[in-house]
Structure 1
Amino acid sequence: MKVIVDQQLCEGNMRCQEAAPEVFEVRDDDKSYLLIENPPESMREKIKLAVRLCPRQAITVIDD
């Protein structure tokens, strides 16, 4: 699985970081950055929650 954050949409609401802090980090520029671009399958539920919680729908998950 591959996770993508659209920097044009991201507003740094931190919902993704709250759901999966191992994967997402909101930095001083109020944008979310990936700590793990290809997280293990065991993190899928946390990442799906982050996708649902994102108010700007800036997170995409691609199954590879």
Structure 2
Amino acid sequence: MKVIVDEDSCKGHGICTTLCSEVFALNDYGYAEAVSEDIPDDLHEAVLTAKDACPEWAIKIVDESES
């Protein structure tokens, strides 16, 4: 599984970085990006929580065969 942040949808709330800083970070412009597209098994729940908490629905989780 991979995680992708839609840069057009992200508004820089930073909730994802607070919930899972191992996978998400804010870039120089203040918008979220996935610093690790591959989701480690031990962080899967944290990534799902961050995805569900995103008010802009900018976080997508995809099967590797779809990306």
So what's the TM-score if we normalise by structure 1? 0.91
Q: CA RMSD in A?
A: 1.0
Q: Which runs of 4+ in 1 moved over 3 A?
A: none
Count the aligned residue pairs: 64
- Which residue identity lines up with residue 52 of structure 1 in the other structure? D
How far apart are residue 27 of structure 1 and its match? Answer: 2.3
Q: What corresponds to 1:2 in structure 2?
A: 2
So what's the TM-score if we normalise by structure 2? 0.87
Q: What corresponds to 2:59 in structure 1?
A: 59
Structure 2: stretches of 5+ with no match in the other structure: none
**Pairwise mapping of residues 13-52 of structure 1 onto structure 2 (< 5 A)?**
13-52=13-52
Structure 1: stretches of 5+ with no match in the other structure: none
Counting aligned pairs with the same residue, the percent is: 34
What SS does structure 1 have at the residue aligned with 2:55? Answer: coil
